[in-house]
Amino acid sequence: MRSLTRVLLAVGTITMLSATLALGFNESGIDYTDAGITTAYVGLSTTGHGLTVSIAAVKGPGYVGTMDVENLMPDIDSGDVPAYYGSRPWAPKAFAAVVELSNASTTVNELRVQHNQTAPEVTMAYTKELTALGYAVAEDPVTTNIAVLTATKGDEVVRLVFVRRGTDTLVTLSPS
């Protein structure tokens, strides 16, 4: 009985941790058959997965920045779109230059997004939106080119690293 209790406690702990050690990702706002998309809009929200990053073809709630995706979509006339993307495309396939996931599923362990905006502008937008979503945000400037935010809400802790790349900003989000 004692062994069974230990196993159940361990499984419960792992289950609880797995719920908080992932990010949600939603790309349903992108029509992958539309080769005319030039800008993708990134937004933040909270779902059952905790903090969720969304990309869409239009600016919506939770907006934190844009991604320049012009010329990243394949030629729709070539017939490659359905063959390459299938019935459930993933943004990293289409926008590999600006979005990278560590796992291509509903929840991810790390997400990188390249915004075509300056680092201070992007950092401020993320801070504002995370605060509006109920996260306590602490900033740790590392250098003039790198800043780190820690966003905490209950048991959920997300680390965000902002790296300036010329006039672009690379943001890496990962659960802590």
Nearest C-alpha neighbor of 147 from the set 131, 116, 125: 125
pLDDT of residue 158: 96
Where is 150: in which H helix or E strand?
strand 146-153
Q: 10 in a domain, yes or no?
A: no
Question: What is the Cα–Cα distance from 147 to 119, expressed in whole angstroms?
Answer: 9
Residue 39: the pLDDT is 94
- Which one, of 11, 30, 22, 29, lies nearest residue 48 by Cα? 22
Retrieve residue 60's tokens.
Answer: 């919506």
Is there a domain that residue 101 lies in? yes
73 inside domain: yes
In the prediction, which pLDDT does 17 show? 35
pLDDT tens readout for residues 127-167 = 999 999 999 999 988 898 999 999 999 999 999 999 999 99
Q: pLDDT below 70 — which residues of the chain? A: 1-21, 73-93, 104-107
**Does residue 9 form part of some domain?**
no
Q: Say what the pLDDT of residue 136 is.
A: 98
Number of domains forming the structure of the chain: 1
Q: Find the domain containing 31 and state its range.
A: 21-175
Give me the amino acid identity at 42: V
